[in-house]
Structure 1
Amino acid sequence: MEDIEDLLVGGGAAPPGFRLPITAAVGVNTTNKKNKQPSPVVQNSSIPGTQTIFLKTFGCSHNQSDSEYMAGQLSSFGYAISDNAEGADLWLINTCTVKSPSQSAMDTLISKCKSERKPLVVAGCVPQGSRDLKELEGVSIVGVQQIDRVVEVVEETLKGHEVRLLNRKTLPALDLPKVRKNKFVEILPINVGCLGACTYCKTKHARGHLGSYTVDSLVGRVKSVVEDGVKEIWLSSEDTGAYGRDIGVNLPILLKAIVAALPSDGSTMLRIGMTNPPYILEHLKEIADILCHPCVYSFLHVPVQSGSDSILTAMNREYTVGEFRKVVDTLTELVPGMQIATDIICGFPGETDEDFAETVNLIKEYKFSQVHISQFYPRPGTPAARMKKVASNIVKKRSRELTSVFESFTPYNGMEGKTERIWITDIATDQIHLVGHTKGYVQVLIVGPKSLLGSSAIIKITSVGRWSVFGDIIKILTESNDVPIPSDNKDTINKERCSPCSNQEETCACSPANPDPCACESDECESNGGCNFTATDSFPEAQNVQNAPANPSSLLRRKPSPINTMMETEGNSNLKLAKSIVHDHDWGLVDTALLGGIFISLLMIVALFLYTRS
């Protein structure tokens, strides 16, 4: 069907968040012309804004931000947003085109929706980059730069019409209504698209060439979300380092302006998103200075993808392993406590045993605390899809081997006993611990009331695991004063998990910091059941969380300290469960009195028993 964007009167000139009328005369389908099937069932309620929308998001932190914007606009018009498909009046699926598993999951969801004859809107990179897919026949579509028009698309789809909005020459406004998945975390897109031309990247087909938001618009958004109570801002894009090259500025200029707008008490932190090596090499000193700032996490996601220069050339990555080393070495030297995440693609076409050995040696040398490992997936329409593939059994073997190497590292050894400031923004998947992060974005799990969410605290690290560390709160930091927090002597049970991939043959090395997923990079494990990547983003881009996503806590995995009792089952590396009981032997006066009372009561019971027997 024809793109409705070219047919609407006014050409999309309405202010962001306002609806333009879509009439039946300008290209809406009420019937599937190819198979003459009727449109999805139209709900009885004809009043716009009274229906429930099921919203499902795949992919990177940029996608997550887009979903939050779409949810915000729909909510502002009265629609109820749900993560439960049952009972929803319409399904809205925001898609990811990075790898085959995420698109397969999307296909399954679309088929289910069609079988239930539910009205369906598909958004994101899949329809934008592959608009002629058979799976998209008969469904409404919202392009990646048309998210500010989602309300009108939903309204027309609920009427039984099929509409498509794909063409756009301007970026969506940053001040649209937004419903954040985590109210303390703002995912801020600073640009769309990229300058690269990686031979394996499908998302470039969807997100396109680089398009950057202005410094003033981004700083204005930062000030607005800080006023809303946001405590963590993730800068997200397909390549953060390329920011501004299309509008005559660069990333350091933006970062300096944003840092100047953050609260001076450090209550709101900035996390810089994924950046490829070529675009920060010329700014390393400036980037290092910004990463040292008290309001900026000393963390950066820099994908390498391979330790072999020949494979990087085949990928058209536009840098060498030596240049990647320069980025890592310089930032590690200049930024105290610097943490760097990276990505690896195993089994890229033409990768030999020697190429793979170079990758393994690189990872062994640097012992990165976070490595996102992905098997190569040929994406339709990319140059790499036409290259001679490595045998799948070899690809899987290499992926497992590299994961085993990565999981042998103990990156947080030496942190036990240290005092750190953390920023608390989430609840762990075990529903017991709160999730905070140090200045180096190391995940810290603490026990405390949910009222601590959004606060900053001084903690003492009591034990370290493979994926996170555990701490006790010393005091909570507020804007005006420091409030001591009493210790909690309750025993706690700590559960270890890594969200499984939708493809059980995929190897994912998960980590808690959720780097920003990137359009051109491998995927991280997400709680939504897909390996969708950057998260990154993790990413950040991507953040999480992991999913999520963009959600860091969804990637919670833990191996307890040696002082704890542990039972661990061998099995899938994507799903490990462990339990440990931590005992606190610091008895207070009340505890001693209670124990004495129990002891005396037991003696009296024994004496009474002996008396009655006699």
Structure 2
Amino acid sequence: MATYHIETYGCSSNRGESREIERALRDGGHRPADGPEDADVAILNTCTVVEKTERNMLRRAEELQETAADLVVTGCMALAQGELFEEAGVDAEILHWDEVPSYALNGECPTTTPDAEPVLDGVVGLLPIARGCMSNCSYCITKFATGRVDSPSVAENVEKARALVHAGAKEIRVTGQDTGVYGWDNGDRKLPELLDRICDIDGEFRVRLGMANPGGIHGIHQELADVFAANEELYDFIHAPVQSGSDDVLDDMRRQHRVGKFREVVETFDDRLDHWTLSTDFIVGFPTESEADHELSMDLLAEVRPEKINVTRFSKRPGTDAADMKGLGGTLKKERSKAMSELKMKVVGGAYESMVGERFEVLVVEEGTGDSVKCRDSAYRQIIVQSATDRGVEVGDFLEVEVTGHNTVYAFGDPVDEDGVEGVADSAASSA
């Protein structure tokens, strides 16, 4: 587990985004540090309202990079004027706020507490199905906290899911360090059966499967894809972190898969589902990563074109084997991270741009900023509906929307009534 320090400047929207970042980091096993000097990662959520504010943000970023081990800059100034930090000599990762948790988690498995129980957060039910994993990745410190996988029975997890639905959950997020190895400790691969039985629970809800390492799901990927195809309750979404496009680097990482297995998983879901979302992660700048290895990762990203991509610049975790390896220079890691992040934005932006003009059934899962709500379509793609109050749209609703625009990593949509007519309020995103 690592520690974080977060500072937030500006409006209530920024403060809300920082709360979301903190929640995700805590869910992943990170803990707040006493101050930036004690943090593995410092996060600066910036404002850019006036020139004086910009100068203050640059000065604070310079101070933070001298204290914390790693610096992430997000918020308005980061997205609108990110180049100013580079010009000022600030060595920081510039990220959209919802990318910060994945970056800070450093490609490691999420960490739950030993007594993790289901939690209902609004209409979203969090269902931890197991604790621990079967991997021994050379860069991961999480394994020291979680140990080997410990899987409660299918029946026990189904009852927990049923209780969440009865309590009002409209979306159940199946979580764990590595959901793909659920049941391995009991000598059986139980994930397909578990998902199938959760989908049989009475009620109107959706189910999202949490992170499953390619090595864990490869042995059940065909059966798993069949379960997805048979159950409309399941979001057609898989988070399978490949981490590198180079088998040599994967070997040094001690990952339990190679690129070929990852491709087989992707190809199987392509065959079974008309449309689905692939989410994956890449670690850039692992100590043994050569320029050729980096290019293999870039090629793989361009080939499989995931619709959600987390790019992490490698950082050492104390006590791990990778911490003893001779690392790459910070400048080189930054250059590779920047190149992959630019490619990522083209891939993801293209995916959301292709949605414009199409209609999708969505579930409203939570409130957004201002008077907006966040929705998810059947492939777990995020669609924002603005002026929600005027349109009578509330969290927990199922509705049809027409996508009117996009902002690279999410889309904007207008509700469509039963007669196929768009809602009366105009979306400010229509011209995005």
TM over 0.5: yes
Per the alignment, residue 461 of structure 1 pairs with: 403
Question: Can you list the C-alpha shifts for 1:379-420, whole angstroms capped at 9, x where unaligned?
Answer: 000000001111111000100011111112211333233221
Per the alignment, residue 510 of structure 1 pairs with: none
Superposition pairs of residues 121-520 of structure 1, within 5 angstroms: 145=113, 171-172=114-115, 174=117, 178=119, 180=120, 182-249=121-188, 250-263=190-203, 267-292=204-229, 293-409=231-347, 410-429=350-369, 431-447=370-386, 448-449=388-389, 452-475=394-417, 487-494=422-429
Gap runs ≥5 in structure 2: 1-18, 44-63, 65-110
**Larger RCO, structure (CA 8 Å, separation 6 or more):** 1
Alpha carbons of structure 1 residues 456 and 315: separation in structure 2 relative to 1, 3 Å: same
Give distance in 2, aligned partners of 1:228 and 1:202. Answer: 35
Alpha carbons of structure 1 residues 407 and 105: separation in structure 2 relative to 1, 3 Å: closer
Give distance in 2, aligned partners of 1:341 and 1:233. Answer: 18
Query: Secondary structure in 2 aligned to 1:394?
Result: helix
How big is the shift at 1:207? 1.3
Per the alignment, residue 97 of structure 2 pairs with: none
Gap runs ≥5 in structure 1: 1-55, 67-92, 109-142, 146-170, 476-482, 495-560, 565-579, 581-614
Alpha carbons of structure 1 residues 370 and 443: separation in structure 2 relative to 1, 3 Å: same
Residues 414 and 427, structure 2, Cα contact 8 Å, conserved in 1: no
TM-score (ref. length: structure 1):
0.51
Give distance in 2, aligned partners of 1:144 and 1:325. Answer: 29
How big is the shift at 1:338? 1.1
Give distance in 1, aligned partners of 2:112 and 2:342. Answer: 37
Residues 132 and 150, structure 2, Cα contact 8 Å, conserved in 1: yes
Residues 58 and 102, structure 1, Cα contact 8 Å, conserved in 2: no
Counterpart of 2:330, as a letter, is S
How big is the shift at 1:297? 0.1
Query: Which of the two has greater helix per residue?
Result: 2
Give distance in 2, aligned partners of 1:442 and 1:104. Answer: 28
Counterpart of 1:414, as a letter, is S
How big is the shift at 1:446? 1.5
Identity %: 29
Question: Can you list the C-alpha shifts for 1:570-610, whole angstroms capped at 9, x where unaligned?
Answer: xxxxxxxxxx5xxxxxxxxxxxxxxxxxxxxxxxxxxxxxx
Counterpart of 1:236, as a letter, is T
Range 462-471 or range 331-340, more displaced: 462-471
Per the alignment, residue 64 of structure 1 pairs with: 27
Counterpart of 2:117, as a letter, is L
Alpha carbons of structure 1 residues 60 and 362: separation in structure 2 relative to 1, 3 Å: farther
Alpha carbons of structure 1 residues 290 and 62: separation in structure 2 relative to 1, 3 Å: farther
Residues 211 and 240, structure 2, Cα contact 8 Å, conserved in 1: yes
- Aligned-residue CA RMSD in angstroms? 3.0
Per the alignment, residue 555 of structure 1 pairs with: none
Question: Can you list the C-alpha shifts for 1:498-526, whole angstroms capped at 9, x where unaligned?
Answer: xxxxxxxxxxxxxxxxxxxxxxxxxxxxx
How big is the shift at 1:463? 2.9
Per the alignment, residue 516 of structure 1 pairs with: none
How big is the shift at 1:331? 0.8
Alpha carbons of structure 1 residues 173 and 461: separation in structure 2 relative to 1, 3 Å: closer
Give distance in 2, aligned partners of 1:231 and 1:455. Answer: 9
How big is the shift at 1:370? 1.2
How big is the shift at 1:217? 1.5
Give distance in 1, aligned partners of 2:371 and 2:420. Answer: 18
Give distance in 2, aligned partners of 1:395 and 1:173. Answer: 36
How big is the shift at 1:173? 6.6
Give distance in 1, aligned partners of 2:185 and 2:318. Answer: 28
In our comparison, the structure showing a higher alpha carbon Rg is: 1
Counterpart of 2:227, as a letter, is I
Give distance in 2, aligned partners of 1:260 and 1:63. Answer: 31
How big is the shift at 1:486? 7.5
Counterpart of 1:281, as a letter, is H
- Give the 4+ runs in structure 1 shifted more than 3 A: 56-66, 93-96, 100-106, 483-494
Give distance in 1, aligned partners of 2:116 and 2:380. Answer: 30
Question: Can you list the C-alpha shifts for 1:151-177, whole angstroms capped at 9, x where unaligned?
Answer: xxxxxxxxxxxxxxxxxxxx52736xx
How big is the shift at 1:94? 4.5
Per the alignment, residue 69 of structure 2 pairs with: none
TM-score (ref. length: structure 2):
0.72
Question: Can you list the C-alpha shifts for 1:59-107, whole angstroms capped at 9, x where unaligned?
Answer: 78594399xxxxxxxxxxxxxxxxxxxxxxxxxx9469xxx9964459x
Residues 127 and 172, structure 2, Cα contact 8 Å, conserved in 1: yes
Give distance in 2, aligned partners of 1:101 and 1:466. Answer: 34
Query: Secondary structure in 1 aligned to 2:360?
Result: strand
Residues 129 and 174, structure 2, Cα contact 8 Å, conserved in 1: yes
